[in-house]
Structure 1
Amino acid sequence: MFKVKTLERRNLKQLSLGGGCLGGSAHTGSEELRHECNGNKLIVEDMALAVGSDEHIEPHSGSGSASASSMSGLSIHDHAGDAAKPATLAVDGHSGCNYDLRDLVQLGKLGSGNSGTVMKVLHVPSSRVIAKKTIVIEQNNAIVKQQIYRELTIMRSVAEHRNIVEFYGAHNLSSDSINGSNDVVILMEYMNCGSLDTITRTYKSLQRRGILAANRSYPVQEWFSKPVIISRIAYSVLNGLSYLYENYKIIHRDIKPSNVLINSKGRIKLCDFGVSRKLNNSIADTFVGTSTYMSPERIQGNKYTTKGDVWSLGLMLIELLTGEFPLGGHNDTPDGILDLLQRIVNEPAPKLPSSVIKVLPPDMVNFIDLCCVKVEKDRGSLQELLKHPFIVRFRTKESTDAFKLWTKDIRRWMQEERNYKKETSEHSMLLKKQHNTNDTRHSRHMTSSLK
């Protein structure tokens, strides 16, 4: 496994390992977003979607100040551009949808992380189950607010599409006077099978518990062993990325298992355009948590295109098949991340293990190989890959039906895992309660004995 400081630290092009700042920003129209870093200008690289007037996005070397986003025809009210004014936000969702937060009833937690929490909620008036993502940002961090508001505006501008998660609006809650933070609440479509990351973790958990038999002689994760499953996932990601770029000049830039959602109707959708991304003052911190799927050209600060997302797709497919991230393990620390960046740039492109290649159809192996090409110009493009035989041969009704059946099975296993976790949690709480009761009785007995 890859560990910290095991690689020769050859300096990357435009990547300073000694505390300098990152080159290679994404232009969002004519706007530029920057942050001061150790006396130098830090181009904010860590935005999960970029909008430009041309597919090639050049490294930026100039200077300027942040400006608030504006998209015509949108209803957005904020004061993010004026640090002296309290920030307020109200962004309508698709088709003018704007749910009142008071109409939401909490049903359960879907996930949580450093950036916030995602809850499953019921919108009572419409009886619709949706997802509510709450992001906490520091009150005085105007740059982060501007990035969030800008990207929410972009999310609102993207029309509904079968491979893009639906956006139902966003709200900025009042400031918390205790810790000086604001909550940004984003309402979006609920996908009842969860993300590919959650599905993979559930599969491994069921195997550990002996619910699913582990076939150690077969090198592919059973849930993703059928070519039709990988093909449908790859097609949906490519189709969503193509739609974003062809219609809005948007490059997602954060394709990974946790950002690909599935429901039991057989739909696969992209989510999370980086609205919860935390901006930091150091290059290593900026990459933490998102660097693993980043293409070599982005790390080097070169111009990048939608082919950067193709690289990420290739890594994700290898991970789904093998159950392991293809570039090895790393410590999620600044030093660990910098070492990983060195590996991505300097080591050969990842490939499927030979044991896996033996059990896969040749067109599937070729498709993944075309995604994982280090030289960008030689890597497959979105349109080329959409026409690849591995994609085309599963664009049939039979394949669609087969995938739907698969998602229903996945949904059933996900429910089994949730029930197990709930029972385990309740049992743990009961034991803790009994332990506390016994401690209280023991304490009373000791007190009585002393008397």
Structure 2
Amino acid sequence: MAAAVHKLLHPHHPNGEPPPQSNEPPTSPQNRQDLASMEYAREEEKRILAHWEEHKRPLSPGQITEDASRKIVGHSSTVLRQEDFELIKTLGTGTFARVWLVRLTNPQDGDRNKVFALKILRKVDVIRLKQVEHVRNERNVLAAVAGHPFITTMVASFQDPDSLYMLLDYCPGGEVFSYLRRARRFNEPTSQFYAAEIVLILEFLHEKEGVAYRDLKPENILIDAEGHLKLVDFGFAKKVENRETYTLCGTPEYLAPEVIRNTGHGTAVDWWAFGILVYEFLVGQPPFWDQNPMKIYEQIVEGRVRFPSAMSPEARDLISGLCTVDTSKRLGNIKGGAGAVKAHPWFRHIDWEALYNRKIQGPIVPHLRGPADTRNFDEYEPEPEGREPYSQDMREKWEDCFKDF
């Protein structure tokens, strides 16, 4: 199956390069054959996309990193186009992207309920907002991690002259943030379940991929149809490995002290944010908050977490270890890495292998009318008209940056 997808990426060339440009006239037999071959490849890829979930299973960390070109997911397609998808409803918008619920156009019998999330990024907006590197990072990280049970699956990416596209699995449960606000706070078993799935995400990103996620917060965690988490929005993710980076990015309440001080940061920022997240799960709000972001930053750099009396000693100890200003003493960043977090007493009831393989029932399973149910997503304004075109000058300067798509 994966080999079939691999052949479809570049149907004319065995080593994965596009076919050479032909000087033949458009109506020549050679060009007609090329067009027919491309059209066949396009229809075959759509057929495989319609059935990719039948092969969906958690890949082991080794299988995910083994050979991206052999995975059924995460590939760059030269044949898909926007018109291959029917846009059903906007699921979310950002400053330079819009995410749609989509289905394949003209679906085969029985495929009408097979839906995806399609993230559309207009090239002109990506360039104008200086997001080229972030978008490239996002696409490449998602390709590398496709197949992880708790990370949004990028099924494929593609582009056209004006836009970039990432075809993702659809998580109909919506944001964890919404459930947290409705419940005010999660009880300890619910918090432990979600926190444990996030530990498995961070363990994989840091120790297998050398990637810092850098934007961990409830709004970036969705719940899928079975009640498991899916981490989304990898716009700030960056492969740092053992180096340090200096870009200020993230959400104020979740920023680590080293990001605020601009002293250089690595994957340890995610363990700090994870501590803030566990606190917010249990309490209902993050430990450092003020209407003035500068006051938030002062509290973070001071690093004094105040715990409510009802919080268990194990939870306090875990959060204190994670929210340690000194990165050399921060849990998750000390010897043992994620293993030290998994061994913490707060997680003593977690069966890590069963959890990774999605064999444990999620605490919140969304009530859905069907695979295309969008009740857990807000309504959005339609896209504005008359936007700036992607000019020839822009194309000549930037198009090479998007070749990975």
Q: TM-score range by the shorter chain?
A: 0.5 to 0.7
Give the equivalent residue in structure 2 for 1:342: 298
Contact 2:74 2:153 in 1 (8 A): no
Contact 2:102 2:115 in 1 (8 A): yes
Contact 1:193 1:407 in 2 (8 A): no
Structure showing greater relative contact order (alpha-carbon pairs closer than 8 Å, 6 or more residues apart): 1
Whole-angstrom distance in 2 between the partners of 1:287 and 1:322: 27
Shift of 1:241: 1.2
- Which one of 101, 106, 123 corresponds to residue 82 of structure 2? 101
- Which one of 384, 387, 398 corresponds to residue 340 of structure 2? 384
Could you tell me which amino acid in structure 2 is paired with residue 348 of structure 1?
Answer: G
Shift of 1:96: 3.8
Counterpart check, 1:317 vs 2:278: yes
- Which one of 320, 326, 329 corresponds to residue 375 of structure 1? 326
Shift of 1:312: 0.3
Give the equivalent residue in structure 2 for 1:161: 148
Give the equivalent residue in structure 1 for 2:55: none
Counterpart check, 1:238 vs 2:199: yes
Seen in structure 2, the aligned counterparts of structure 1 residues 159 and 74 have a Cα distance that, compared at 3 Å, is: farther
Whole-angstrom distance in 1 between the partners of 2:217 and 2:91: 18
Seen in structure 2, the aligned counterparts of structure 1 residues 168 and 310 have a Cα distance that, compared at 3 Å, is: same
Contact 2:322 2:331 in 1 (8 A): yes
Could you tell me which amino acid in structure 2 is paired with residue 188 of structure 1?
Answer: L
- Which one of 211, 235, 246 corresponds to residue 274 of structure 1? 235
Seen in structure 2, the aligned counterparts of structure 1 residues 150 and 328 have a Cα distance that, compared at 3 Å, is: closer
Whole-angstrom distance in 1 between the partners of 2:320 and 2:86: 46
Question: How big is each residue's C-alpha offset from its partner over 1:273-327, in whole Å with a ceiling of 9 and x where there is no partner?
Answer: 11699xxxxxxxx858623211101221224333211110111122222222321
Give the equivalent residue in structure 1 for 2:361: 404
SS in structure 2 opposite 1:326? coil
Contact 2:173 2:222 in 1 (8 A): yes
Shift of 1:243: 0.9
Give the equivalent residue in structure 2 for 1:364: 315
Whole-angstrom distance in 2 between the partners of 1:148 and 1:75: 23
- Which one of 133, 144, 147 corresponds to residue 131 of structure 2? 144
Give the equivalent residue in structure 2 for 1:299: 260
The alignment's TM-score, normalised by the length of structure 1, stands at 0.55
Shift of 1:189: 1.4
Could you tell me which amino acid in structure 1 is paired with residue 97 of structure 2?
Answer: G
Contact 1:105 1:122 in 2 (8 A): yes
Contact 2:213 2:234 in 1 (8 A): yes
Whole-angstrom distance in 2 between the partners of 1:419 and 1:262: 10
Deviates more, 1:384-393 or 1:130-139: 130-139
User: Any stretches of 5+ residues in structure 2 without a counterpart?
Assistant: 1-14, 19-67, 239-246, 333-337, 382-405
Seen in structure 2, the aligned counterparts of structure 1 residues 134 and 386 have a Cα distance that, compared at 3 Å, is: same
**Count of residue pairs brought into register by the alignment:** 292
Contact 2:323 2:330 in 1 (8 A): yes
Could you tell me which amino acid in structure 1 is paired with residue 139 of structure 2?
Answer: L
- Which one of 172, 188, 193 corresponds to residue 192 of structure 1? 172
Whole-angstrom distance in 1 between the partners of 2:368 and 2:350: 22
Counterpart check, 1:263 vs 2:219: no
Question: How big is each residue's C-alpha offset from its partner over 1:426-445, in whole Å with a ceiling of 9 and x where there is no partner?
Answer: xxxxxxxxxxxxxxxxxxxx
Shift of 1:393: 1.0
Whole-angstrom distance in 2 between the partners of 1:391 and 1:406: 16
| Cα RMSD, aligned residues only | 3.9
Whole-angstrom distance in 2 between the partners of 1:169 and 1:74: 16
- Which one of 130, 133, 136 corresponds to residue 119 of structure 2? 133
Shift of 1:391: 1.8
SS in structure 2 opposite 1:404? coil
Whole-angstrom distance in 2 between the partners of 1:287 and 1:411: 39
Could you tell me which amino acid in structure 1 is paired with residue 120 of structure 2?
Answer: T
Give the equivalent residue in structure 1 for 2:209: 248
Could you tell me which amino acid in structure 2 is paired with residue 407 of structure 1?
Answer: I
Shift of 1:409: 5.0
Contact 1:351 1:372 in 2 (8 A): no
Contact 2:215 2:236 in 1 (8 A): no
Give the equivalent residue in structure 2 for 1:35: none
Whole-angstrom distance in 1 between the partners of 2:355 and 2:211: 32
Contact 1:230 1:317 in 2 (8 A): yes
Seen in structure 2, the aligned counterparts of structure 1 residues 298 and 265 have a Cα distance that, compared at 3 Å, is: same
SS in structure 2 opposite 1:418? coil
Could you tell me which amino acid in structure 2 is paired with residue 131 of structure 1?
Answer: A
Give the equivalent residue in structure 2 for 1:353: 308
Identity percentage of aligned residues: 22
Shift of 1:257: 0.9
Seen in structure 2, the aligned counterparts of structure 1 residues 199 and 368 have a Cα distance that, compared at 3 Å, is: same
Whole-angstrom distance in 2 between the partners of 1:184 and 1:386: 38
User: Any stretches of 5+ residues in structure 1 without a counterpart?
Assistant: 1-72, 77-90, 176-182, 205-220, 278-285, 331-335, 426-451
